[in-house]
Amino acid sequence: MLTPNKNYTKLKDSYLFYNIAQKTKAYLREKPGTHLYRLGIGDVSQPLCKAAIDALHSAVDDQAAADTFHGYMPECGAPFLREAIAAHYRKRGVRLDPDEVFVSSGASDELGDILDLFQRGSTVLIPEPAYPAYVDANVMAGNRIVHLPTGGAQGFLPVPDDTIAADVIYLCSPNNPTGAVLPRELLGRWVDHANRTGAVILFDAAYEAFIEDDALPHSIFELPGAATCAIEICSLSKTAGFTGTRLGYTVLPKTLVRGGQNLHAMWVRNRTTKTNGISYILQKGGAAIFTDEGQAQVKAQIAVYKQNAKTLTDALDKCGIRYTGGKNAPYIWLRCPGGMDSWTFFDFLLQHAQIVGTPGAGFGACGEGYFRFSCFGSPKETAAAAKRLQTVCADL
Ligand code: PLP
C-alpha cells in the first residue's frame, strides 16, 4: 500500500498569502466593486525593461530559423548567461568560474530543490521573521527546524550562536519581511561560524539589487571564507520584473565540500537528472539584464519602487509609527499601531482604508505585532494608499 509523504500532514493549515486572499475575497463578497489598495504580496507592477523585451523578441525570431534554432539547453545554464553573471560578480570583486553559476527558473524553485543536497532529517536554522517558504519546504523534506527569533532591539539581524548545532542555515539579506541587511562584519561572523561548525549557509539574495548603501554586501561571496560554506540563491524576479517570466540563478562554489562530498558536483548531477534546462528565449532575456543598458534600465525601475517606499514611510512618520526597511529593501516592516496584533491590524486596514498588507505573524511567531508593506505597487496606487493610511492611523 502506498504511503504518501507524511511530512505534509505537519504543514500548517494554510499558507500566509492564501489566508490573505481568503479574507480579501470575503470582504469583496460583502462589498462588491470596492477598490483595494494592494500593499501585500510582493509582486512587481512595472513591465520588463526594453533591453529584456528586445532580447526576448530577437530570441523568439532565432527559434524560427533552422540555423539559429535552439532545442534543449545545457541543464545548468547557457554558457552566455553563466558568463554574463560571473562578469557581473567580477565587477563587485567576486571571482567565480562561470560553471559555479547555475541558471534556474527562480529562487523559490531553488530554495526547495536545493534541499536534495542534504540528508533528510538535517537540522535547519531559520532566523525569523522569515519568508514562509523556508519553513514549509523543510517541513515537507522532513528536516528538523530550529527557529531563531530576532527582534527590533537587534535590528532584526540574526547573530550566530555556537551553542546551536545546525547543518543548514538560512540567511536572507536584504530580508523579507523586515528589510534588514546583514552588515559585512556580522555576515563575516556567520561565515566563520559555518566554516567552524561545518554548516552550509543558504544565502537568499533575492533583493540584493535594492541595496544602495555601498558599505553593505550584495553577495555572501564578498566575504572571505564564503566559498567553503555558502550557496547563494538569486532571482531576477524583483531585480528585473521577472516574477511571471521566471528566471534566477544559484551560485554554488566548486570548493564547497562536506563529509567528503563535493556539493557542486552533486548539484550538477541533480540538475542534469531533474531538469532539462531553462528555455533559450528566457536566458537571452536574462542576459540582457546584465548588459550596461539593462543594468541602467533596471536601476531606474528600482528607483520607482524606492520612491514608493519613501511615500509610505513619510506617511508612517507623520503618524508616529515605527518601522524598519524601505531603504535598502523593497519592504517596510512596521510596528502595528494602537497595540493591535498583526491580524487585527490587517482587518483594521482592510475595513477602514481598503488597504491589503501582510500580517507579521505570518513570518514566524516573533513577527506578531508587526506588519509588512510591499513597495512594488504602482506609484499612483501607493500614493493613494499612503494618504488613506495616514487618515486612518493618525489618531491611533
Ligand atoms: N526569496 C525571497 C526572500 C522572496 O521574498 C521571494 C519572493 O517573494 C523568493 C525568494 C522567490 O523568488 P522567485 O520569484 O525567484 O521564485
Ligand 1 atom showing the smallest separation from residue 172 Cα: 3
Please indicate, yes or no, if residue 243 is contained in any of the structural domains: yes
Co-location of 304 and 213 in the same domain: no
Please indicate, yes or no, if residue 141 is contained in any of the structural domains: yes
- Best substitution site from 237, 242, 249, 376 to test ligand 1's pocket, by max atoms within 8 Å of Cβ? 237
Q: Considering the entire predicted model, what is its pTM?
A: 0.97
Taking CA atoms only, the protein residue closest to ligand 1 atom 12 is 107
Identify the CA nearest to 176 among candidates 312, 336, 326.
326
Co-location of 199 and 151 in the same domain: yes
Spatial separation of the C-alpha atoms in residues 62 and 59, rounded to whole Å: 5
Please indicate, yes or no, if residue 1 is contained in any of the structural domains: no
CA of 249 to the centre of ligand 1 (A): 12
Co-location of 205 and 307 in the same domain: no
Spatial separation of the C-alpha atoms in residues 199 and 164, rounded to whole Å: 11
Please indicate, yes or no, if residue 310 is contained in any of the structural domains: yes
Which residues contact ligand 1 via a Cβ below 6 A? 42, 106-108, 131, 172, 176, 204, 206, 235, 237, 243, 248
User: Under a CB-based contact definition with an 8 Å cutoff, are residues 349 and 20 in contact?
Assistant: no
Co-location of 194 and 330 in the same domain: no
CA of 282 to the centre of ligand 1 (A): 18
Spatial separation of the C-alpha atoms in residues 218 and 266, rounded to whole Å: 26
Spatial separation of the C-alpha atoms in residues 380 and 386, rounded to whole Å: 10
Co-location of 62 and 194 in the same domain: yes
Co-location of 313 and 281 in the same domain: no
CA of 145 to the centre of ligand 1 (A): 20
Domain boundary among 228, 256, 291: 291
Please indicate, yes or no, if residue 172 is contained in any of the structural domains: yes
Q: What is the pLDDT along the chain (396 residues), one digit of tens a residue?
A: 999 999 999 988 667 888 899 999 999 999 999 999 999 878 999 999 999 999 999 999 999 999 999 999 999 999 999 999 999 999 999 999 999 999 999 999 999 999 999 999 999 999 999 999 999 999 999 999 999 999 999 999 999 998 989 999 999 999 999 999 999 999 999 999 999 999 999 999 999 999 999 999 999 999 999 999 999 999 999 999 999 999 999 999 999 999 999 999 999 999 999 999 999 999 999 999 999 999 999 999 999 999 999 999 999 999 999 999 999 999 999 999 999 999 999 999 999 999 999 999 999 999 999 999 999 999 999 999 999 999 999 888
Q: What is the pLDDT of residue 23?
A: 94
Please indicate, yes or no, if residue 309 is contained in any of the structural domains: yes
CA of 148 to the centre of ligand 1 (A): 20
CA of 107 to the centre of ligand 1 (A): 5
Please indicate, yes or no, if residue 2 is contained in any of the structural domains: no
CA of 234 to the centre of ligand 1 (A): 8
Co-location of 246 and 106 in the same domain: yes
Co-location of 44 and 176 in the same domain: no
Instruction: Report the CATH number at residue 181.
Output: 3.40.640.10
Taking CA atoms only, the protein residue closest to ligand 1 atom 2 is 206
Q: What is the pLDDT of residue 14?
A: 61
Please indicate, yes or no, if residue 314 is contained in any of the structural domains: yes
Co-location of 192 and 285 in the same domain: yes
Domain boundary among 266, 291, 316: 291
Ordered DSSP codes for 183-234: -HHHHHHHHHHHHHHT-EEEEE-TTGGG---TTS-SSGGGSTTGGGTEEEEE
**Residue 37 lies in domain:** 7-48+294-393
Co-location of 322 and 250 in the same domain: no
Co-location of 60 and 87 in the same domain: yes
Q: What is the pLDDT of residue 70?
A: 98
Q: What is the pLDDT of residue 26?
A: 96
Ligand 1 atom showing the smallest separation from residue 107 Cα: 15
Spatial separation of the C-alpha atoms in residues 283 and 34, rounded to whole Å: 40
Spatial separation of the C-alpha atoms in residues 166 and 357, rounded to whole Å: 33
User: Under a CB-based contact definition with an 8 Å cutoff, are residues 278 and 247 in contact?
Assistant: yes
Q: What is the pLDDT of residue 166?
A: 97
Specify the 3-state DSSP secondary structure of 86.
Answer: helix
Co-location of 365 and 252 in the same domain: no
| Stretch (H or E) spanning 332 | strand 331-335
User: Under a CB-based contact definition with an 8 Å cutoff, are residues 170 and 130 in contact?
Assistant: yes
CA of 353 to the centre of ligand 1 (A): 28
Spatial separation of the C-alpha atoms in residues 270 and 182, rounded to whole Å: 30
Domain boundary among 270, 291, 312: 291
Identify the CA nearest to 82 among candidates 283, 273, 227.
283
Domain count, the chain: 2
Instruction: Report the CATH number at residue 377.
Output: 3.90.1150.10
Q: Copy the grid coordinates of residue 165.
A: 548545532
Q: What is the pLDDT of residue 40?
A: 87
